[in-house]
Amino acid sequence: MNWHQTRLILPAYRRGFHLITQHVLQAIPELTEFEVGLLHVFIQHTSASLSINENADPDVPRDLEASFNAIAPEDFPYTHTCEGPDDMPAHVKSAMLGNSVTVPISGGKLCLGTWQGIYLCEHRNRGGQRSLVLTINGERVSQNPSR
């Protein structure tokens, strides 16, 4: 097994669900060197999360944002309020969605479905830049032309 790891700093996004598949792909040109494997994407924050979801219809990210705002509203009587009204709901949403996604690799490409994309789920009004760790584990394409 071969490993490759890199860090990706995303620009600041407004609150909501943002397709970042192209940012991820641009950060790992080494992906094409892997015949089979896994890409693990990890976000180093507790008030934002990652998700794989529909990448074509712009209503999907809007509906996801509205749904999560209904599940974890800012006006709930949270105890942790020192960082503003959007902070604790952001932690709740992050706990529900998770801090990583894993995508299979085949033939140097991600095995995302036709309508799937990787999303940054920004749960803060002003979350700032977000740091991701991208780790590939897999078998590299053989350098042996007879194979």
E strands of the chain, at which residues?
2-10, 16-19, 34-43, 48-54, 100-106, 109-110, 116-122, 130-140
Instruction: Say what the pLDDT of residue 147 is.
Output: 47
Report helix, strand and coil shares of the chain as percent, to nearest 5. 25, 40, 35
Query: Tokens standing for 69?
Result: 């705002």
pLDDT at 143 over 80: no
- Average pLDDT on 66-70 reads 98
Rg (CA), the chain: 17
Q: What are phi and psi of 128, to 5 degrees?
A: 80, -170
For the whole model, what pTM was predicted? Answer: 0.94
Q: How confident is the model at residue 142 (pLDDT cuts 50, 70, 90)?
A: confident
**20 contacts 121 by C-beta, under 8 angstroms:** no
- Report domain extents, the chain: 2-140
Q: What is the pLDDT of residues 5-47, one digit of tens each?
A: 999 999 999 999 999 999 999 999 999 999 999 999 999 999 9
Mean pLDDT of the chain: 96
Place of tokens 């789920």: 121
- 59-71 helix and 87-97 helix, angle to the nearest 10 degrees: 110
Match domain 2-140 to its CATH number in 3.30.450.20, 2.60.120.460, 1.10.3720.10, 3.40.50.10890.
2.60.120.460
Instruction: Say what the pLDDT of residue 49 is.
Output: 98
Instruction: Say what the pLDDT of residue 146 is.
Output: 53
Nearest-angstrom CA–CA distance, 106 and 10: 25
- Average pLDDT on 101-127 reads 97
% of the chain exceeding 70 in pLDDT: 97
Instruction: Say what the pLDDT of residue 145 is.
Output: 54
